[in-house]
Amino acid sequence: MTHAGGYIADSRTRAIEWLPWVLAVLCYFIAPSYLPLGSYVLTMIIFALSLDLILGYGGIITLGHSAYFGTGAYAAGLLAVHLTGEPLLGLLAGTLAAGLLGLITGIIILRTRGLALLMLTLAITSLCFEVANKATTWTGGVDGLGGFTVQPILGLFKFDFFGKTAYLYCLAALFVCWWLVRRLVYSPFGASLTGVRENNVRMHAVGAPVYQRLVISYTISAALAGLAGALLTQTTQFVGLKVLSFELSGELMVMLILGGVGRIYGAFVGPLVYLVAQDYLAKQFPEYWYFGIGMMLVLVVMFARGGILGIIDTGLARLRRKPA
Amino acid sequence: MSAAMETRNLCKSFGALTVADQINFRLDPGARHALIGPNGAGKTTFVNMLTGRLAPTSGQILIGGEDITALGQAARVKRGLGRTFQINTLFPNVSVVDNVAFAVAEREGVAWRMFRPASVYRHVLDESMALLDTLGLADDARLAVAGLPYGKQRLVEIAIALGLRPSVLLLDEPAAGVPTLESHRILEVLDALPKDIAILIIEHDMDVVFRFAQRITVLTQGAVLVEGTPAEIAADHHVREVYLGERHV
């Protein structure tokens, strides 16, 4: 079964679900020189989680999720430039701004489905990108938005040069997001999203307000994406136009598919494998690294539709069958 | 007593093509009513207008005396309208009991809850299980629907609709595609359906129709040709001409 929730599902946290957190904390001690990469991976995991909520559970295919990530990133950046560098307020601003945009755009575009919807998500990202590109007085255009400082978290923990604080900050944010998404996915609301993905027509026929459900899930997802964007702004102290680009949306989709769609932890595995591979390949083969990424995706799509976690699932199932 | 469901002068045309022509139809509370007609008679269009998937060009649809013509699908379900589909329209990768639980949760109004796990809402699960038990599906409750034999999937179709506790139930060819050997199981289930539900069955299989229905409406070219008891319909020479001819003469 591919869905996590439902009325017969056991929602208690399994032991293995603590593994990513143990590994993440271990990384902090073992690989201090990789903490900036680690922060980025954690940020992208939040972003991927937000996509998994609508793609994996609601079945909304989008290539425009960077619109919300970028909105969150710019909202946090603008707040830091003009008002305050308080990081938690920045996260809140990014989350709310992206959530609001998600609500408004969701109301408009979720009336469509399939290809039309895909095109509309693309259009929204492109619109946002162009707005940020032209509004140079606010966003700095192609030069990006920088020159702001982020205050210590809660007035206590300063962002340090080695990215230690940033890493733990991202980890804490991810933990909260994971907990929320997990709650949501196992809830009746999450179950109804699975219903919409599995059979939209039948969901209508059992009296579900399908459109409203999709709009709300889309809004929540956009808000989470915005939070991830705000995190990136604060940990890198810079906002570039790339945060609103279609390429980022595509990359995110690739990461999630690589990890496995509709299972929460695919959003953990995908960005980790993708970004670490990218980091490694870019060092080894500076000119051809994209080839390696491409190969990985081709292999997954051809042989393992469930992504890396899907492969592990089938492997475990086989192991279990043998001794019996 | 007002009808469980009623249509008044219901029309639907696509441009010059009229697919529903002044249909006046009445479904009494607790009725066992069959809608038959040759292919292309407009049965599916009629059902889609009743459920709200298709808006009529003119005319009225009423449930329990209330005009619901302008209401959407969800609102009609809330007023007691349930349906099954001619072609299985299930949640394939979800367990059988969750298929039913989705419907029960919507009716019980818990499907918006976002914080506590679905499994906490025991009454949803318990009711779904009880329903499966009455249909003889209890042993399959935890299997994914996609893995069930076709005949059982047809029963899940009915189970989901019953999870809505409808006052009006539209059964769109419930035995379609089921081998004759297995169709008796579906007929048993149909016979055992609660007597207070008004049922409209759309069916091609005349054995099913004449065994199940107490009234029959014959639709041809988007209009009601004749309505009556099974005996009257079987004796009607118009009906024999346009419809039963192939089989019964």
Q: Quote the CA–CA distance of A164 and A158 in Å, as a whole number.
A: 10
- Considering only CB atoms, which chain B residues are within 8 Å of A199? 89-92
Q: Is A255 strand, coil or helix? A: helix
Alpha-carbon gap: B95 to the closest alpha carbon of chain A (Å): 8
Asked if residues A191 and B98 have their Cβ atoms less than 8 Å apart, the reply is yes
Residues 161-190 of A with CB under 8 A from B: 183-184, 186-190
* DSSP string for B76-95: HHHTTEEE--SS----TTSB
Q: Where are the domains of chain A?
A: 15-245
For B75-130, the pLDDT digits (tens) are 999 999 999 999 999 999 999 999 999 999 999 999 999 999 999 999 999 999 99
- For residue B127, give the nearest of B107, B106, B104 by alpha carbon: B104
Nearest by CB: B107 against A8, A203, A207? A207
Instruction: List chain B domain ranges.
Output: 5-248
Instruction: Look at A199 and B142 and tell me if their CB atoms are within 8 Å.
Output: no
- In this predicted structure, what is the pLDDT of residue B238? 84
Mean pLDDT of chain A: 93
Interface contact A3-B93, CB threshold 8 A: yes
Which chain A residue lies closest to B91 (C-alpha atoms)? Answer: A198
A221 touches chain B (CB under 8 A): no
Scanning every residue of chain A, which has its alpha carbon at the shortest distance from the alpha carbon of B159? A206
User: Within an 8 Å CB–CB cutoff, is residue B142 touching chain A?
Assistant: yes
CB contacts of B51 in chain A (<8 Å) are: 205
Instruction: Please tell me which residue of chain B has the smallest CA distance to A9.
Output: B119
B87 at interface of A, judged by CB pairs closer than 8 A:
no
What's the pLDDT score for residue B248? 46
Of the partner residues B85, B95, B110, the one whose CB lies closest to the CB of residue A6: B95
Whether A94 has a pLDDT exceeding 90, the answer reads yes
Q: Which of A94-108, A151-165, A178-192, A232-246 has the lowest mean pLDDT?
A: A151-165
Mean pLDDT of B176-197: 87
B144 touches chain A (CB under 8 A): yes
Neighbours of A86 (CB within 10 A): 18
Q: Over the range A95-121, which residues count as b (16 or more CB within 10 Å of their CB) and which as e? A: bbbbbbbbbebbeebbeeeeeebbebb
Chain B contact set for A196 (CB, 8 A):
none
Residue-level pLDDT at A323: 63
pLDDT digit string (tens) for A274-307?
999 999 988 888 888 888 888 888 888 888 888 9
Measured between beta carbons, which residues in chain A are less than 8 angstroms from residue B76? Answer: 207
Is B73–A203 a contact, with Cβ atoms under 8 angstroms apart? Answer: no
Chain B residues near residue A2 by CB distance under 8 angstroms? 93
- The encoded tokens of residue B124 equal 């949803």
Specify whether domain B5-248 bears CATH 3.40.50.300.
yes
ipTM field:
0.90
Chain A interface includes B14 (CB < 8 A): no
Between residues A6 and A122, the one the model is more confident about: A122
pTM metric for this prediction: 0.92
pLDDT interval class at B163 (50, 70, 90): very high
Q: What is the pLDDT of residue B76?
A: 95
Q: What angle do CA A257, A258, A263 make, to 5 degrees?
A: 60
Which of B74, B90, B125 shows the shortest C-beta gap to A207?
A: B74
